[in-house]
Structure 1
Amino acid sequence: MTTDPRGPGDLWGQLVRFVVVGLFSAVVDLTVYTLALHLGLWVHAARALSFVCGTSTAYALNRRWAFRVAGGRNRVLGFTLLYSTTFFVILGVNALALAVLPDRSWTITLAWAISQGFGTAVNFVMLRTVVFRS
């Protein structure tokens, strides 16, 4: 008996692939964020730019590998709506973290990590149950 890779029986497989994609996308995101800050971009603009780069990477890899689904206008629209919402959420979480964390050399990176972690948790649930559901 073969389990449908998009069915509930593959939750752990999807989760593992999602984490791998997420880690890679997070490296893209953090690299762009750090480079943009180094080049003098305003912190919130740098976070927005890095989010777009990381998200584009995540969409391509999650669709093809983590959730193994074909494209389609509805999936792209659902993904765009989800990540547009997440975009504002992570910017808010990042701004809140910057406001409450002490002003240290590691503050910007920790704020990024907190906002990234929060967004990632929301995204997995929504991608699996709404965007890439079978």
Structure 2
Amino acid sequence: MPDSTPGEHLSHDDFATRHAPMPIELPFDDEEASTSVDLKTQLIRFVATGALSAVFDFGLTLLLQEAFGAPFWLAKAAGFILGTTIAYLINRRWTFRAEPSKARFVAVVLLYAVTFFVNVGLYNWLMHEWGTAFLMVALAFCIAQGVATAINFIVQRAVIFKIK
């Protein structure tokens, strides 16, 4: 923006041609978005992204359960929301290399709603069945996360990131 002196009105003509800002983008690569990434690359990237997201999910889940005494379902729900938000932002741009799309976003929200109930429900059920020993917590988390991750990958690859 040009320098101005106090009280001087700035011209806002340049705003007439500007677009609304895009959502936060993660700088994984500089190539244009393309859904032509091969299955092996997508799977490796999806697993790497999932591992990173799971660290945040599990960390918040444990923190809320252990430090704040939150119920299993509430702790896992908060962890799931944090983890899936991170995963979506990375997967859309890096794993599936897809441009932003309102239709795709709505499809992701619906998919995440389904996997939310699968993940949280399975985790809650296993915690009540197995107890709260750390090994059981970790195992219940991995099983619930694994089932939700499999559903997510299949639906995202086959449906969501093919939406224009």
TM-score (norm 1): 0.89
Higher share of residues assigned helix: 1
- CA distance, structure 2, for counterparts of residue 52 and residue 19 of structure 1: 18
* Distance in 1 between residues matched to 2:77 and 2:131, nearest whole Å: 22
Kindly report which structure 2 residues correspond to 1:50-65, keeping only aligned pairs within 5 A, or say none. Answer: 50-65=79-94
Match of 2:77 among 48, 54, 62: 48
Work out whether residues 28 and 53 of structure 1, in 8 Å CA contact, stay in contact via their aligned partners in 2.
yes
Worse-matched range after superposition: 94-103 or 42-51: 94-103
Partners of 1:97 and 1:132 lie apart in 2 by 32
- 1:92 is aligned to 2:121: yes
Aligned amino acid, residue 99 of structure 1 = H
Unmatched segments (≥5 aa) in structure 2:
1-32
2-side partners of 1:5 and 1:70: how far apart? 8
CA distance 1:40–1:102, change in 2 (3 Å)? closer
- What is the count of residue pairs matched by the alignment? 130
Q: Which one of the candidate residues 41, 44, 55 is aligned to 1:16?
A: 44
Kindly report which structure 2 residues correspond to 1:32-47, keeping only aligned pairs within 5 A, or say none: 32-37=60-65, 38-47=67-76
TM-score normalised by length of structure 2 = 0.73
Moved over 6 A (4+): none
- CA RMSD in angstroms comes to 1.8
Query: Which protein is bigger by CA-based radius of gyration?
Result: 2
Sequence identity percentage:
37
Unaligned runs of 5+ in 1: none
1:66-91 per-position Cα deviation (integer Å, ceiling 9, x unaligned) = 10001110110010000001000112
